[in-house]
Structure 1
Amino acid sequence: MNNSIEKAMNQIGTASSSSEGAAPTVNPLSLDAVDRKLASAQVSSNRRKTGFFVDLDLKILSEKGFITPDDPRSQIAEEYRRIKRPLLKRALDRSLPADEHNNLILVTSALAGEGKTFTAINLAMSIVMEYDHTVLLIDADMIKPELSRIFNIREKSGLVEVLMESSVDLADVMVRTNIANLRVVGSGRPHPLSTEMLASYQMAALANNIAKRYPERIIIIDSSPLLATSQSSVLAHLVGQVVLVVESGRTPQTAVKEAVSHLDETKSVWMIMNKGKRPWGSSYYGKLSNNYNYS
């Protein structure tokens, strides 16, 4: 049992255990039925492809607490150096089966507002600043695409268009940035079949393709909270590693247990305690074992 996780779960147990709302039932989606729905959906064929460049304002990002190349020795930058090490070790371990897709990392949370998008962006920033690997950051939160908002690409084509239009390749919607080796794909335009799209054959094929086509690239997927929609649990089956963000002192232990129950037990699941007041140098990070005792 990992001591840091045991301490984290004890802290979670002291938070309010009041009901946060019942989690939606996750029903298996028939790929055949989903693909028929997608085939019947009408999307404008003359939609403009949007591979382009965005100049990020590093000063504003830094003021909002994000890691930037301008301040590589900040406290939060040091924290994420520790956070990324085990993730990268597994992602780049060539002794593991390639079909595990360990270079695909899903970032999610139990509830909304726990800092999953903040974590996904900072994890990406930390990796591109110190490693000679391109990081692809994908916004797969179709309900509240916060990542797309932060990068100012909400009105641009993105993941939705790749899944809906056979003529649109991921490269067509990939956004280059003024941070070397950082690429971003937005969620795309809102669509009523977003959950079905993420559970479709097209999404599974896309995940398999990007994992194998770019084995040296780290793909970080920002998804919706596990207890808010079924989208994250669907995506979790396609990736090799899952990062579960938990807000210190707020997220009830029952919510964490419920969130973990939505994940595949065979996956490598990690937890980050966010927004906690801890002494400098203490650990925020650990691994949830599949047989973890939550009592």
Structure 2
Amino acid sequence: MSSIERAMERKNMTREGDVSASDTTLALDSLDQDSTSPGIAVGQGEKSSQRFHLDLRMLSQKGFVVPTEPRSRIAEEYRMIKRPLLKRALDHSAASNEYSNVIMVTSALSGEGKTFTSINLAMSIVMEYNHTVLLIDADVVRPELTRTFNLRGRPGLVDVLMDSTLDLADVMVRTDIANLRVVGAGEPHSRSTELLASQRMAELAEDVSRRYPERIIIVDSSPLLAASQPSALAHLMGQIVLVVEAGRTSQTAVKEALSQLDQPKLVWLLMNKNRQTLGHEYYGGHYYSSYFDG
């Protein structure tokens, strides 16, 4: 029996009653299901290259990790969740082509909490580590991260892939949280899958990984079973976080999602909205495991 099967058997994911559907303490209902922007705006007269103001109070109310509440329950959870990711990302003994500091966050299905996870990982890392985090919205089908940071209608990842004269720095925006940078999805395009699987995207991934080896790049992608884009992206990523909603996502769906990752990759399984204690593997509302596809 594989490690993922053992982990999932222990959790009995499909069993009723292990999960509270309304975990108000953690607010772990994903932004994928929330249509209200947390109030992020650009000051009047500022250019896009200047800093975006983040409404930390609103973000906190929505359950996010924020610098003003470093000891909150959700902050403690993500403090533990990020440790193995950072250990691998900053391991300079790893093969130079692994891009271990480029981390893709995805899920099997929509609404499982991948965007919530992407943003919280980024927030948690910049709060405690002297590393810049670049948060990229690669969910070009349903760009929730772009909506959350109020970047709709602005150039983003797709524009950089389409226009060779654009650099990622041209579409990058700074926030008023030190060392946090964000790139939106950009203009929708009918050939987005081909763009994400293109040589241009491969060059971009290599460039951001090697030019800034101390930078953590978090890529929020589409769900694996909802679109073809994340499969195209996966082989460019150094690590993959697969968010699974406890009590909702079947073992079959998780296995099918993992089968889309046809390259040898380290996949971290993050079980969201979990309420059952599992000893050292339990982090409040999250269960963490790993799966090596190879």
Query: What TM-score do the two structures reach when normalised by structure 2?
Result: 0.83
Check conservation: 2:264, 2:292, Cα contact below 8 A. no
Residue 66 of structure 1 corresponds to 64
Paired AA for residue 241 in structure 1: Q
Change (3 A) 1:137 1:170: same
- C-alpha distance in 1, partners of 2:195/2:12? 34
1:109-188 to structure 2, matched below 5 A, reads: 109-188=107-186
Identity in percent: 63
- C-alpha distance in 2, partners of 1:161/1:265? 27
Check conservation: 2:101, 2:209, Cα contact below 8 A. yes
1:70-81 to structure 2, matched below 5 A, reads: 70-81=68-79
Check conservation: 1:114, 1:245, Cα contact below 8 A. yes
Residue 105 of structure 1 corresponds to 103
Check conservation: 1:2, 1:286, Cα contact below 8 A. no
Residue 86 of structure 2 corresponds to 88
Change (3 A) 1:230 1:51: same
Paired AA for residue 191 in structure 2: L
- C-alpha distance in 2, partners of 1:274/1:153? 26
Deviation at 1:289, TM superposition (A): 3.4
Residue 39 of structure 1 corresponds to none
Check conservation: 1:154, 1:186, Cα contact below 8 A. yes
Change (3 A) 1:202 1:290: closer
Aligned match for 1:53, one of 26, 51, 54:
51
- After superposition, the C-alpha distances for 1:11-41 in whole angstroms (9 at most, x for unaligned) are 355359xxxxxxxxxxxxxxxxxxxxxxxxx
Moved more, 274-283 or 189-198: 274-283
Aligned residues, how many? Answer: 259
Deviation at 1:102, TM superposition (A): 0.2
- C-alpha distance in 2, partners of 1:175/1:61? 18
- C-alpha distance in 1, partners of 2:139/2:154? 15
Paired AA for residue 11 in structure 2: Q
Residue 11 of structure 2 corresponds to 11
Residue 288 of structure 1 corresponds to 291
- C-alpha distance in 1, partners of 2:264/2:3? 21
- Structure 1: where are the runs of 5+ without partners? 17-48
- After superposition, the C-alpha distances for 1:54-111 in whole angstroms (9 at most, x for unaligned) are 1010000000000000101011111111110000000000111111000000000000
Residue 32 of structure 1 corresponds to none
- Structure 2: where are the runs of 5+ without partners? 17-46
Paired AA for residue 125 in structure 1: M
- C-alpha distance in 1, partners of 2:7/2:181? 36
- C-alpha distance in 2, partners of 1:288/1:3? 6
